[in-house]
Amino acid sequence: MNWESLCKGLNAVDRFCASAELSGVQYDSRQVRHGDVFVAMRGEATDGNRYIEAAIGAGASAVVTDSREAYEKLRREHAQVGAAVVERGRRALAEVSSEVMGHPERDLALSAVTGTNGKTTTAFLLETMLRSVGRTCVLIGTIETHVGDEMRVSPHTTPESRDVLEIFENGVRVGATEAVMEMSSHALEQERVWGLPVDVAMFTNLTQDHLDYHGTMENYFAAKARLFEGVGAPLPRVAVINSDDPYGKRLIVGSQASQLMTYGLEPSSGDYRAEEITLHAGETRFIFKTPKGDVPIRSSLTGRVNVYNLLAASCAALARGLTLEEIVAGAASGAQVPGRFEVVPASNNLTVVVDYAHTDDALRNLISLARELVKERGGKVITLFGCGGDRDKTKRPRMGRAAGEGSDLVVLTSDNPRSEDPMTIIEEALAGVRETETKCIVERDRAEAIGLAIRAARAGDIVLLAGKGHEKIQILRDGTVPFDDVAVAAGVLKEIG
């Protein structure tokens, strides 16, 4: 594609065209190669317009900017480079990337899931169901990105639009026809998913999180709701919504999707329900009640929260054309999701679980599940958790209270303190634990804390290591260090035999 052709479809305030062939698109000047379009946009951490000269020096043939000042400078000093000025840089990045890459989003049926908890598991489950009937998929999520059979580590829950479209392009190249994405509130608010046509939109739940960014729960909800309104694209064809969630009920009332599928556990809510639920460690069973008939679902996932995730994925799979029988088979074939109630192998009679729970609601659900599992054997629940730095501080005492109310012992430690003092974070969470009468051990060093928690356990107990889940690093004030809850726990278990 050449710059002149791209200009015709670009929603620009002003532009001038130079004769240039375009080979790609970048928003990071360090990635620019000869013939690329560089999209310079203002971000949360930096302003891409500061790097226009570096991009031109690296060979950029054209620049799209959201700064009038930068545009005028390009006209004066770089007449050989095509340039355009736009009102919204992120929208332009999506539009330019889509054009340059040949609109790969049009070749994939996209299912997207949003909500506070359950996004990752729901996305994994849906992809598993789609793959089980022979469909080649793209998956973009918190833990991993899948392109057909290739697995890549995900740096972000929802990448920038240019990177999403490149993944889609890679997927189309290997024959993918389906895409499954987690869409975070940040990505929806910042329009990183601008122009992506969503076929099936899913909502899991909404509980307090990310108020450091959104400010209020209403703003947080409004960001999530954008998925169901279409972000620079038509409305989703199908909306799959948790009718047991108060915010889900609001989405249902306002839904304009062609097809609405509501799911839940309450008898009076949801057209698609789970009944006769049986929960065991490593197994969940229920009857999937649908307008098309009832089928028994069995999964190796554990807990009531995963009943909701299985319902959401099953509804989306129905919307994507799978039969009830195919959904039954797909649910049964689903593997463990890393860092989501992941049991650390042990040769003794201790159960150690690593889970990503990092909100008070998720922590409460996790502890409730553990309590159910130890009930028959008279065991105790030991919960280790921490709170992230540079994030919503108001949830710290709430998490402490949730841990204290449900556990027999709490071990309070660091999560990812980032730029904050770990002990300051711990003290704020400790205030919530102190509202309960539960014993609490404070240990700043997470590895030491994991050792303390596991050594405090006896046969029949469950130790919950909450907050980091699948993560393989810890983010400290001085930098990032390797850290894996599963590996640390496995080392302790091996040491104690």
Q: What is the pLDDT of residues 311-347, one digit of tens each?
A: 999 999 999 999 999 999 999 997 678 888 888 988 7
- The answer to whether 467 is annotated as binding is yes
| Averaged pLDDT for residues 69-95 | 95
| Averaged pLDDT for residues 60-71 | 96
pLDDT (tens digit per residue) in 278-307 = 988 788 999 999 999 999 999 999 889 999
pLDDT (tens digit per residue) in 440-486 = 999 999 999 999 999 999 999 999 999 999 999 999 999 999 999 99
| Averaged pLDDT for residues 58-70 | 96
- The answer to whether 11 is annotated as binding is no
N-terminal to C-terminal alpha carbon distance within the chain: 63
202 and 178 Cβ atoms separated by less than 8 Å: no
- CATH code of 3-100, in short, is 3.40.1390.10
CA distance 190 to 171: 24
- The answer to whether 173 is annotated as binding is no
Q: Residue 155's pLDDT is what?
A: 75
- The answer to whether 184 is annotated as binding is yes
Closest-CA residue to 314 (of 178, 134, 130): 130
Q: Residue 281's pLDDT is what?
A: 77
249 and 243 Cβ atoms separated by less than 8 Å: yes
- The answer to whether 157 is annotated as binding is yes
Q: Residue 103's pLDDT is what?
A: 97
CATH topology of domain 104-333: UDP-N-acetylmuramoyl-L-alanine:D-glutamate ligase (3.40.1190)
Q: Is residue 9 scored above 90 in pLDDT?
A: no
| Averaged pLDDT for residues 28-54 | 94
Percent residues over pLDDT 70 in the chain: 99
Mean of all residue pLDDT scores within the chain: 94
- The answer to whether 415 is annotated as binding is yes
Percent residues over pLDDT 90 in the chain: 81
pLDDT (tens digit per residue) in 181-209 = 999 999 999 999 999 999 999 999 998 77
- The answer to whether 82 is annotated as binding is no
- The answer to whether 237 is annotated as binding is no
- The answer to whether 208 is annotated as binding is no
- The answer to whether 471 is annotated as binding is yes
- The answer to whether 158 is annotated as binding is yes
- The answer to whether 424 is annotated as binding is no
| Averaged pLDDT for residues 370-396 | 92
- The answer to whether 334 is annotated as binding is no
Q: Residue 335's pLDDT is what?
A: 66
What is the DSSP secondary structure assignment for residue 296, as one 8-state letter?
E
Residues of the chain with CATH 3.40.1190.10: 104-333
Residue 349 pLDDT grade (very low, low, confident, very high; cuts 50, 70, 90)? confident
| Averaged pLDDT for residues 419-427 | 97
- The answer to whether 121 is annotated as binding is yes
Residues of the chain with CATH 3.40.1390.10: 3-100
- The answer to whether 439 is annotated as binding is no
Joined tokens for residue 92: 């332009």
404 and 438 Cβ atoms separated by less than 8 Å: yes
- The answer to whether 278 is annotated as binding is no
Joined tokens for residue 175: 């024959």
**Interstrand relation of 178-182 and 198-203 (parallel, antiparallel or unpaired):** unpaired
Q: Is residue 408 scored above 90 in pLDDT?
A: yes
pLDDT (tens digit per residue) in 112-137 = 999 999 999 999 999 999 999 999 99
| Averaged pLDDT for residues 81-92 | 95
| Averaged pLDDT for residues 49-64 | 97
Closest-CA residue to 371 (of 467, 265, 441, 462): 462
State the CB neighbour count (10 A cutoff) for residue 166.
Answer: 17
- Nearby residues of 89 by Cβ (< 8 Å), 6 or more positions away: 39, 40, 41, 42, 48, 64, 65, 66
Roughly what angle, to the nearest 10 degrees, separates helices 422-433 and 395-406? 50
Q: Residue 154's pLDDT is what?
A: 80
The CATH H-level (homologous superfamily) assignment of domain 342-496 is Mur ligase, C-terminal domain (3.90.190.20)
Residues of the chain with CATH 3.90.190.20: 342-496
Residue, of 345 and 348, whose pLDDT is higher? 345
DSSP assignment of 79-126? TTSEEEE-S-HHHHHHHHHHHHTT-GGGGSEEEEEESSSSHHHHHHHH
CA distance 489 to 172: 40
CA distance 128 to 399: 32
Q: Which residue has the tokens 């994925």?
A: 313
Residue, of 9 and 476, whose pLDDT is higher? 476
